[in-house]
Amino acid sequence: MKLFPSRMLTLVIALLALGCTGMPESVQPVKDFELNRYLGKWYEIARLDHSFERGLDNVSATYSMNEDGTVRVINRGWDKKEMRWSEAEGKAKFVDAPNIGHLKVSFFGPFYGSYVVYYLEPDYSVALVSGYNSDYFWILSRTPELSPDQIDRYKQLASEAGFAANELIFPKQDKSE
C-alpha cells in the first residue's frame, strides 16, 4: 500500500498551492482595483520580517505589463552585508477578476504566493499588502518616506487587521539606484 498514491499527491499539491494564494480572514482585497494606476514603482516603507528580504534596505517593487498580459514584478533592495543590489524578477496574475486587488506572484516557476492589496489610498499613493497569512505584510508608498502621522495611521490599520504592527521593520530609503 502506497502512503501517497499519485492522485493523493496531486490533491495535496493543489491544496497547498491554493493555500498560498489565499488571504487572512481579517482582510478583503480592494474592489474597483485599477491595475494601470497601480503599475510603476513603489517604495517599501515597512514590512514584517521574512527570510527573502532580511538584511535589505532601499527596497522597492516595480510593476509593469508583460506582453502575455501578466504583470512583471521587479523587487530590488540593497544588501547591507554584501554591499550590493539584490534583485528578483517575477510575474503576477489576478486570482479572480482584474478589478479585485488579489493577485498571485511567482518568483520560482509554477509556485505562486498571494499578494493582497487590502487598503489603497484613493490616489494610489499608499498600499497595504498582505500575503496568504498574517505573517506577511507590507506598507508601500509612491514616495520613499511617509510622515510619522501617516505611519501611525497605517500601523493602526495593520493592527486592526490582525498584523503584528509592533514588529514592523522600517528599511532605510537612503540610496538612489
Residue 104: give its domain's CATH number: 2.40.128.20
Question: Is there a domain that residue 152 lies in?
Answer: yes
Q: Please state which of the ranges 17-21, 147-151, 170-174 shows the lowest mean pLDDT.
A: 17-21
Question: Is there a domain that residue 144 lies in?
Answer: yes
What pLDDT does residue 52 have?
Answer: 87
In Å, how far from its chain's centre is CA 78? 18
Q: How many CB atoms lie within 10 A of CB 45?
A: 23
Question: Is there a domain that residue 1 lies in?
Answer: no
What pLDDT does residue 20 have?
Answer: 79
Question: Is there a domain that residue 173 lies in?
Answer: no
Q: pLDDT exceeding 70 applies to what percent of the chain?
A: 88
The pTM of this model reads 0.87
Q: How many CB atoms lie within 10 A of CB 17?
A: 14
Mean pLDDT of 135-149: 98
Q: Which three cell numbers stand for residue 71?
A: 504583470
Mean pLDDT of 141-148: 98
How many domains, the chain?
1
Question: Is there a domain that residue 92 lies in?
Answer: yes
Residues 107-113: contacts with CB within 8 Å, 24+ apart?
107/73, 107/75, 111/17, 111/20, 112/17, 112/20, 112/21, 113/20, 113/21
Mean pLDDT of the chain: 89
Whether the predicted pLDDT of 13 surpasses 90: no
Mean pLDDT of 47-72: 96
**For residues 117 and 101, is the Cβ–Cβ distance under 8 A?**
yes
Whether the predicted pLDDT of 1 surpasses 80: no
Structural domain including 37 reads 6-167
Residues 6 or more apart in contact with residue 90 via CB below 8 angstroms: 72, 73, 75, 105, 106, 107
Which pLDDT band holds residue 163 (cuts at 50, 70, 90)? very high
Question: Is there a domain that residue 177 lies in?
Answer: no
Question: Is there a domain that residue 175 lies in?
Answer: no
pLDDT tens string 67-125: 999 999 999 999 999 999 999 999 999 999 999 999 999 998 889 999 999 999 999 99
Which pLDDT band holds residue 177 (cuts at 50, 70, 90)? low
Question: Is there a domain that residue 28 lies in?
Answer: yes
Provide the b/e sequence for 133-151 (b: ≥16 CB within 10 Å). ebebbbbbbeebebeeebb
Which element (helix H / strand E) includes 6?
helix 6-20
Whether the predicted pLDDT of 42 surpasses 90: yes
